[in-house]
Amino acid sequence: MDLRIRSFEEYQQKYAESVSNPEGFWDEIAKTFHWQKPYDTVCEWDFEGPDIKWFKGGKVNITENALDRHLEQRGNKLALIWEPNDPKERFVRLTYRELHEKVCEFANALKAQGIEKGDRIVIYMPMVPELTIAVLACARIGAVHSVVFAGFSAHAMADRINDAQAKMVITADGLNRGAKQVPLKRVVDEALQSCDSIERVIVFNCLDWSPNMAEGRDIWWHEAIDGMPKECPAEEMDAEDMLFILYTSGSTGKPKGVVHTHGGYMVYTAYSFQNVFQCGESDIYWCTADVGWITGHSYIVYGPLISGATTLMFEGVPTYPDPGRFWQVCDKHGVNQFYTAPTAIRALMAYGEDHVLSYSLDSLKVLGTVGEPINEEAWKWYHIHVGKERCPIVDTWWQTETGGIMISGLGDLSPMKPAHAGYPLPGIQPVLLDQEGKEIKENGVEGYLCIKHPWPSIIRTTYGDHERCRTTYFSHYKGHYFTGDGAKRDENGMYRIIGRVDDVINVSGHRFGTAEIENAVNACSIVVESAVVGYPHEIKGQGIYAYVVCDTFPDDLETARAEIVETVVEQIGKIAKPEKIQFVTGLPKTRSGKIMRRILRKIAEGEPDKLGDISTLLDPEVVADIVKGAL
């Protein structure tokens, strides 16, 4: 199934077709997949509900499309290459046939452990092949996976387990991250103290440690698969049955479980993968994300495998054993498409060119970025030193909620402009709206980025709370999906994403709600209240700046800061650590008690002269003090 567009003219023609006849357009594409029973309708939708159904009546299992369908033609082709954290360790290669067997074997193990269609399973794993196997095995039997990034704390994991009412956790004893080893099972044990729904824990032996194994609850992965058949029929799923829940931050304190379904997600991840990366039959494709995020779901696991590609999975970090690791791996495996995040590029840039110049990188054809706006300097460095000015860069804009890439170049087909994501993929209808929600039709403008027609992998609901899905995405601008991003459209219609316009901070391409971090800061015993904003950070894109009011102003600022940081790490994980903590005596509030973040943001950005009108504040004096103490 080759769904690739071959020229920019063809793109323009397909795009026009996808707007004038969306159903016909997607029907042509969807027909090329393996359906256990064909669908009755292509798309039924109503953004008011929202109530969105793609391929209604169709029966399908995404794993049959990702595995079984390839066995005849590509059984011996590599599906997965796994590169370990330590370059001296052996790498792993699995053909489609081998991956199919392993997925079936583990799927049978899940069934033997009492898992049934519809059960939720939380996966908290290192970046090892078994993570991909676990994800696919869940889908195989119709269980709903919810991968929790292995950097999240016990507290954050417990929240997610409880929200999903998960029955099982799949984890490992620990993981390798650069020179460090991180315990995972210990974190799971701590989380499970506050979770009643978990009946079983499967533990993969990654480090040969001897973690605590709870009698009657915990079982080793190798014991669970012992004697299991290597064939397992794919469960018949309705196209709209839930495939996974992935938790992501919003503007309130509680992460929300974004729900994607079998049929639409399958069609869109494969279509977008093939077109954005222009991945050919014998190419080796590598996405450096973690499967704990949507990028890993859609573009390490599902998109590439449904397309019959060879996907590389990397256990380690870009700087271990040295900052040339990414490029060493590219040369070692002959990587053709390389997909990473601006924050990684900026971090490597800081180590200088030498680390990249010592590798040939001859195999590279397409470079990609994702997760946050890429600044021009990083874009140029990537283009010149990694791509040798010969590889196009696809700047892919999308979200957990969109399931797949929405605005991006398509390999070397599209015009390219630094820091611009470019044009929408066929089937995607972005619009820019003004403050009043009116569509701005001209070019050379800026506005709120919304989408006016559904695409197959659009969010269906937020798990257990449909109203939250409606109010967050479909209520701001009637008849539109609201992205939470602001964007510009240049004279040629190319989009440039500016960043979030809501209370979401993007740290190294990871989303955090300000309220979520404030809740964590406030959990520290010395804190009375806090306000958190983002500020420009050279490597991370945005850093977290916390303004904190304590019961008594701390004498020892460093100790107080350490205490707060420790609490945030406990509540969420290291990834959410505030970079700057300023102790203040009060926060700027309106007379109704609302914190004026706009003011705090300006101070954090180092622009205290641009605070605007502060006369409506309850106590304008407080601002001068904050400006004086700014870090």
Neighbour-count burial of 468, counting CB atoms closer than 10 A to its CB (0-12 exposed, 13-18 middle, 19+ buried): middle
Residues 211-250: x/- map of binding to ligand PRX (CB under 6 A)? -------------------------------------x--
| Region near ligand PRX per CB under 6 A, out of 150-158, 164-172, 479-487, 617-625 | 479-487
Per CB under 6 A, the list member of 499, 554, 586, 608 interacting with ligand PRX is 499
CA 295 – CA 246 distance, rounded (Å)? 11
Minimum distance, C-beta of residue 343 to ligand PRX, in the bound complex (Å): 11
Q: 607-629 burial string, b = 16+ CB within 10 Å, else e?
A: ebeebeeeeebbeeebbeebeee
Residue with smaller CB distance to ligand PRX, 22 or 509: 509
Minimum distance, C-beta of residue 259 to ligand PRX, in the bound complex (Å): 14
Residue with smaller CB distance to ligand PRX, 207 or 497: 497
- Complete DSSP assignment for 87-141: TTSPPEEEEHHHHHHHHHHHHHHHHHTT--TT-EEEEE--SSHHHHHHHHHHHHH
Residue with smaller CB distance to ligand PRX, 204 or 397: 397
Residue with smaller CB distance to ligand PRX, 39 or 482: 482
| Region near ligand PRX per CB under 6 A, out of 303-311, 365-373, 552-560, 621-629 | 365-373
What's the one-letter identity of residue 87? P
Question: How wide is the angle at C-alpha 424 spanned by C-alphas 420 and 428, nearest 5°?
Answer: 150
| Region near ligand PRX per CB under 6 A, out of 97-105, 158-166, 393-401, 581-589 | 393-401
Does position 484 bind ligand PRX by CB under 6 A? yes
Minimum distance, C-beta of residue 293 to ligand PRX, in the bound complex (Å): 6
Does position 421 bind ligand PRX by CB under 6 A? yes
The H or E element spanning position 19 is helix 8-20
CA 542 – CA 535 distance, rounded (Å)? 5
Contact in structure between 135 and 103 (CB atoms under 8 Å): no
The H or E element spanning position 273 is helix 262-277
Residue with smaller CB distance to ligand PRX, 58 or 409: 409
- Size of the chain, expressed as the number of residues it contains: 631
Residues 246-285: x/- map of binding to ligand PRX (CB under 6 A)? --x-------------------------------------
Question: How wide is the angle at C-alpha 446 spanned by C-alphas 441 and 450, nearest 5°?
Answer: 70
Neighbour-count burial of 4, counting CB atoms closer than 10 A to its CB (0-12 exposed, 13-18 middle, 19+ buried): middle
What is the token pair recorded at 328? Answer: 């060493």
CA-based end-to-end distance of the chain: 55
Minimum distance, C-beta of residue 92 to ligand PRX, in the bound complex (Å): 26
Minimum distance, C-beta of residue 223 to ligand PRX, in the bound complex (Å): 36
DSSP at 610: G
Minimum distance, C-beta of residue 268 to ligand PRX, in the bound complex (Å): 13
Per CB under 6 A, the list member of 146, 261, 278, 400 interacting with ligand PRX is 400
- Which of 6, 18, 9, 2 minimizes the C-alpha distance to 426? 18
334 Cβ contact partners less than 8 Å away, ≥ 6 residues apart: 284, 363
Does position 372 bind ligand PRX by CB under 6 A? yes
Residue with smaller CB distance to ligand PRX, 174 or 371: 371
| Region near ligand PRX per CB under 6 A, out of 280-288, 382-390, 495-503, 618-626 | 495-503
| Region near ligand PRX per CB under 6 A, out of 112-120, 318-326, 364-372, 600-608 | 364-372
Residue with smaller CB distance to ligand PRX, 483 or 514: 483
Contact in structure between 43 and 26 (CB atoms under 8 Å): yes
| Region near ligand PRX per CB under 6 A, out of 42-50, 353-361, 478-486, 579-587 | 478-486
DSSP at 616: T
Q: Where are the alpha helices (DSSP H) in 382-474?
A: 466-469
| Region near ligand PRX per CB under 6 A, out of 171-179, 356-364, 494-502, 521-529 | 494-502
Does position 500 bind ligand PRX by CB under 6 A? yes
DSSP at 308: T
**Peptide bond before residue 426 is cis, with ω within 30 degrees of 0:** no
Residue with smaller CB distance to ligand PRX, 109 or 515: 515
- Complete DSSP assignment for 570-600: HHTBGGG--SEEEE-S---BBTTS-B-HHHH
Does position 511 bind ligand PRX by CB under 6 A? yes
Residue with smaller CB distance to ligand PRX, 92 or 575: 575
What is the token pair recorded at 153? Answer: 């704390």
Residue with smaller CB distance to ligand PRX, 21 or 492: 492
Minimum distance, C-beta of residue 494 to ligand PRX, in the bound complex (Å): 13
Does position 506 bind ligand PRX by CB under 6 A? yes
Minimum distance, C-beta of residue 606 to ligand PRX, in the bound complex (Å): 22
| Region near ligand PRX per CB under 6 A, out of 64-72, 148-156, 317-325, 499-507 | 499-507
Per CB under 6 A, the list member of 68, 485, 516, 518 interacting with ligand PRX is 485
How many amino acids of this chain bind ligand PRX (CB under 6 A)?
23
Minimum distance, C-beta of residue 119 to ligand PRX, in the bound complex (Å): 25
Residue with smaller CB distance to ligand PRX, 454 or 484: 484
What is the token pair recorded at 209? Answer: 């440690």
Residue with smaller CB distance to ligand PRX, 18 or 248: 248
What's the one-letter identity of residue 372? E
Per CB under 6 A, the list member of 370, 425, 433, 507 interacting with ligand PRX is 370
| Region near ligand PRX per CB under 6 A, out of 26-34, 37-45, 208-216, 389-397 | 389-397
Q: How many CA atoms lie within 13 A of 345 on its CB side?
A: 30
Q: How many CA atoms lie within 13 A of 194 on its CB side?
A: 13
Q: 76-115 burial string, b = 16+ CB within 10 Å, else e?
A: ebbbbbbbbbeeeeebeebbbbbbbbbbbbbbbbbbeeeb
Contact in structure between 495 and 488 (CB atoms under 8 Å): yes
Residue with smaller CB distance to ligand PRX, 418 or 499: 499
What is the token pair recorded at 569? Answer: 């790490």
Per CB under 6 A, the list member of 238, 395, 503, 518 interacting with ligand PRX is 395
Residue with smaller CB distance to ligand PRX, 504 or 548: 504
The rounded radius of gyration (Å) of the Cα atoms in the chain is 24
527 Cβ contact partners less than 8 Å away, ≥ 6 residues apart: 521, 548, 549, 550, 564
Which residues of the chain form contacts with ligand PRX (CB under 6 A)? 248, 294-295, 370-373, 395-400, 421, 483-485, 497, 499-500, 506, 509, 511
